Chain A
């Protein structure tokens, strides 16, 4: 079965420092991986995705993610954190079994950027 794990419930980082939010996955076949962000009282917003190709993918708001097949990881990164990046981040994998295209989410990681 497809699954994703986000091992950290919360990540704290000082403003201006680099940030990493971790995600590991388990899939059969080629993984389609996603990061979403949720701001308070809002829906999920798509940040970026990995489908194929370059292992470093760039997304919205200066975020990027590194796909590592040997470690089955897809960590979200940003070179310099902003206080406004504070939010709940979800990693997801797409399960395309039988053409159903379901999305399986991790439990989420709360990012707090401290001024």
Chain B
């Protein structure tokens, strides 16, 4: 039981490049979330999903897209990376009936 696993852990991108961050959970959780963490700003919600095949925008969705084709995976895409997207990205998941969310280890992304 690995919990919430994020891939990759580190990445450096050039401005304009694209990439996909993968979040995988093996706990059969319905809810999944993508957050970004920036100094002094805490965690801000990018996108979330309440179940397989559904996604919704969070607080800071611009420049990101997501997909949840399988229940266990939640992908975060950057189509054209910008330096403002330099951040640490966290994925989380939650089971229906359980109140707290569980987090992955994070992906540190630098856009130069």
Contacts and interface: CB of A to CB of B under 8 A. Distances in A.
Interface in B1-60: 4, 31, 33, 35, 40-45, 48, 50, 56, 58
Contacts of A94: 99
A22 to B, nearest CB: 15
The contact size tier of chain B is 20 to 34
B58 A42 contact: no
Q: State the main secondary structure of chain B at its contact with A.
A: strand
Contacts of A99: 50
Contact residues on A (Cβ < 8 Å of other chain), bracket:
20 to 34
Contact of A103 (B4, B33, B56): B33
A34 B100 contact: yes
B31 A101 contact: yes
B33 A108 contact: no
A101 B102 CA distance: 13
Interface in B71-112: 90, 92, 94, 99-106
Interface of A: 6, 9, 32, 34, 36, 41-46, 49, 51, 90, 94, 99-108
Interface of B: 4, 31, 33, 35, 40-45, 48, 50, 56, 58, 90, 92, 94, 99-106
